[in-house]
Chains A and B, each alone.
Chain A
Amino acid sequence: MKKMCVLALIAVLLLPTLLFAQGAKETVDENAPVTVQYWTHEDPARTSLETELIAQFMADNPNITVVRTTQSSSKQIELVQTAFAANQGPDMFNLPIENQYAYITNYRVAPVDYKAAGYASKQDLLDKYVDGVLDTVTFEGEVYGLPLELTNWCIYLNKNVFRDAGLDPEKDYPKTWEEMADISEKLAIRDGDILIRRGFDFRYPYYLTFFVPMVEQLGGDLISSDGKQAIVGDDAWIKALTFMQEWGPSGRNLGSPTYKNARKLFDMDNNDMAMAHSGLYQEGRIAEDNPAFFESKEWMVIPFPVFENAVRDVAANYYGHFFMVNADSDPAVQKAAWKLAGFLLSHGVDYLTRGGNLIQPTKALFASDTLKNMPYSDVFINDMARAHMIYYGQNSAEIQTQLRYAVESVMLSGVSPEKALATLRSAVQEIIDEQ
């Protein structure tokens, strides 16, 4: 009896290992109505627009049901990955390209179904988008994603705060990083060591977006052009890290990652943030959070600064969110998902005007008066012209983690730029060697 009980117990304990040893597989009945699970990040303005568009899409396609699920942008990255690791990924999703590229190289997403998405052919699709934009999602000759948005960041400036500090915003705005530090010093209000008002602060921890371009301005690179060597141009890296060290609490004490997010403070216009780093979409958020400030026109947008001795004129990197479709979804679901993506993206002007001020990089939108008439859109477009796509690779998210560690160790933990650079080099080299 005892033996029987023990054997039965072992059998019960091992049951799940037999059940899940191969991973659960979902089968889709092709004759059943098609349901597309669409996962995306939270954005109230876009949610409102997409809810309306999806209702219209479902009315036009009665056999397709779309289930739209939103999460905060940081949680979305983890949830999508965990779901894919368990073979339970959504049918359609979007992420920042630096997190999304690995889905392409690991064959987890399907190539674009041009016909279903509303294009005559691959060439027709390429012709409709700004040159080079789709290179990012082109792999082994196929295009794997359609851009929901292409975003770059410039500097938002509060004119009131500038005037309050005796500065003329139109003339005195910072053009170089050295000026940015000096002007931030003038704008800062402190209670002892504590910053009550900051001039500017960076957008931590998106170091691939803003810090790598700063290094590139000084002649450095994250990865060599052949993709084999990590950290090129030590002098540039040391200078950029030293700048960040000076910026932090142990240096000139102009800002720190532990203070409240600069762009959120900026929107409120509470005389505690003079400049913040963000994209065109921030205009919609200011209008939403603080309509009076938005309408007052007491804000403006200025280009991403460069170092005084810059050897390259590089603005903040732009990044994209792409609609991608799960390669493991039923073919009928994949087709429906591409149809949905194509339908949503055919409303580029709506996304720009009432869907969160998102720029979809189609030639038509870039040539449109709607984009040109958006406040300060010229600043964003000009900066985009002197920028390039953020570093994306199979492990770009991990590289960003290492960059964060390097920058914050010099800013907050008293590590020397030389030591931080050595640690960063060995970590990034290991990542690209393992890739």
Chain B
Amino acid sequence: MARREYRGIEKKQARWGFAFVIPSMLFFSLFSFYPIINAFYTSFFDKRALSKAPPKFLGLGNYIRLFDPARAASELSFLNSLRATLVFTLGTFIPLLILSLLVAVFISNLGNNKAKKFFQIAYYSPAILSSVVAATIWMIIFDPRGLGNQWVNFLMHTPGIDHKWLVDPVMEQVSTMVIYFWKYIGYFVILFITGLATIPPTLYEAATIDGANKNQTFWRITLPLLKPTVVLVSVMAMLQCLKTFSTQYMLYTNGAPRAPINVITFNIYVTGIQQQYLGRASAMSVVLFVLMLVLTLLQFKTTNSEQTEY
């Protein structure tokens, strides 16, 4: 009897819970789940953007083509895109994680509230700039006659040297990393500042009474207690970097060569939108999805943090 009553309450609660969840589930299924299923399905077909003819079933044909070793030599191949994506992710995500943490600690430790707010806004503002504005700013900097060459040549006393920001393959990759870093560091700084605010000040007071210096406080209190935020930020930053597109698109449309910055998302865009091979582009997006899933799981596993308790 008692068991029946319990189930009744559970049912009632579940019904309400379900009612609250339905709108977001609908939204998710419409804008995320359906495109994922559709891309997965399309990846088995030779589907062209403009063709009205029924797409030809290829089975794993699109996937075999992506990983075909005979195509690996081409700088525009999918395998090169994998390389470009991993280089960009490693080159951006690690500095982004470390420096955003350091900047967040620096801002949190500022005594002056006005200065704190100023730095928070200053670091965050690039994140809300539109891609068009960001493109204009960086093209002014990276133009051979632009500010980039002027500043570097002034600092290094090397007048007249063109540092080929958008021409040299290595410099071009570095340029994309710099732009991305500039655009997103503020976002992660804010996340870290929020994480730092959750650490009870009493712990720092106790540490000060025990004679701990700032360095010890950081390594023994701040960092361990910030671990959940570090995991969150690292996963988010890594996923953001794997999905990078607008920076590479912006450089390409301004004349930079494609091969060094042909990351997977950019290859998907060129293959699906410019070249109209939707099936092939869908296969690429499925591979990217799997890659992101595996790396995220791996990251969760390796940084498996025990619950922080104060």
Contacts and interface: CB of A to CB of B under 8 A. Distances in A.
A84 interface: yes
A13 B29 contact: yes
A412 interface: yes
A413 interface: yes
A74 B253 contact: yes
B38 interface: yes
Contacts of A82: 49, 273
Nearest to A79: B273
A51 interface: no
Contacts of B259: 405, 409, 413
A354 B128 CA distance: 39
B50 A102 contact: yes
A401 B161 contact: no
Interface in A404-435: 404-405, 408-409, 412-413, 423, 427
A81 interface: yes
A194 B274 contact: no
Nearest to B164: A249
A170 interface: no
A257 interface: yes
B275 A1 contact: no
B292 interface: no
A413 B145 contact: no
Nearest to B10: A1
Contacts of B28: 13
Interface in A159-213: 190-196, 204-205
B33 interface: yes
Interface stretch (A15-23, A54-62, A122-130): A15-23
A405 B164 CA distance: 18
Given A258-B144, A260-B143, A78 B10 contact: no
B128 to A, nearest CB: 22
Interface string A75-118: 00010011011000000000000000011001110000000000
B160 A85 contact: no
Interface string B53-70: 000000000000000000
Contacts of B34: 16-17, 20
A271 interface: no
Interface stretch (B18-26, B176-184, B189-197): B18-26
Given A1-B7, A249-B167, A193 B161 contact: yes
Contacts of B162: 192-194, 249
B170 to A, nearest CB: 11
B145 A15 contact: no
B273 A81 contact: yes
A194 B165 CA distance: 12
Interface stretch (A4-12, A221-229, A383-391): A4-12
A209 B99 CA distance: 47
A395 B51 CA distance: 12
Contacts of B48: 106
Interface string A238-264: 000000000001000000111110000
Nearest to A204: B255
A78 B169 contact: no
A81 B144 CA distance: 34
A398 B275 contact: yes
A397 interface: yes
Contact of B18 (A5, A78, A196, A405): A5
- Where chain A touches its partner, the secondary structure class is helix
B50 A196 contact: no
B174 interface: no
Contacts of A205: 255
B208 interface: no
Interface residues of B, number: 50
Contact of A259 (B75, B145, B258): B145
B50 A85 contact: yes
In this complex, the member of A12, A15, A20, A194 whose beta carbon has the largest number of chain B beta carbons within 10 angstroms is A194
Given A13-B25, A401-B275, A412-B257, A103 B50 contact: yes
Nearest to B21: A9
B5 to A, nearest CB: 14
Contacts of B37: 17
A194 B149 contact: yes
A288 B278 CA distance: 41
Contacts of B156: none
A108 B160 contact: no
Contact of B50 (A17, A106, A249, A413): A106
Interface string B230-271: 000000000000000000000001111111000000000010
Given A17-B37, A249-B164, A397 B274 contact: yes
Contacts of B258: 404-405, 408
A84 B50 contact: yes
B14 interface: yes
B26 A15 contact: yes
A260 B258 CA distance: 18
A106 B52 contact: yes
A328 B89 CA distance: 43
B144 A194 contact: yes
A191 B162 CA distance: 9
Given A17-B34, A74-B253, A405-B259, A192 B160 contact: yes
Given A249-B167, A256-B167, A398 B274 contact: yes
B76 A405 contact: yes
B74 A81 contact: no
A423 B52 CA distance: 31
Contacts of B117: none
B61 to A, nearest CB: 13
Contact of B257 (A85, A193, A413): A413
B11 interface: yes
B30 interface: yes
B276 interface: yes
Contacts of A190: 160
Given A20-B34, A413-B169, A258 B49 contact: no
A17 B34 CA distance: 6
B253 A8 contact: no
A195 B29 contact: no
A258 B162 CA distance: 12
Contact of A8 (B18, B149, B270): B18
Contact of B14 (A1, A256, A258): A1
A401 B274 contact: yes
7 contacts: A74-B253, A81-B49, A194-B144, A194-B149, A196-B145, A249-B164, A401-B274
Given A1-B7, A9-B25, A20-B38, 11 more contacts: A12-B25, A12-B26, A14-B29, A15-B29, A192-B160, A194-B145, A194-B149, A205-B255, A258-B167, A258-B255, A395-B275
* 6 interchain residue pairs of minimum CB distance: A192-B160, A257-B255, A16-B34, A193-B162, A85-B49, A106-B50
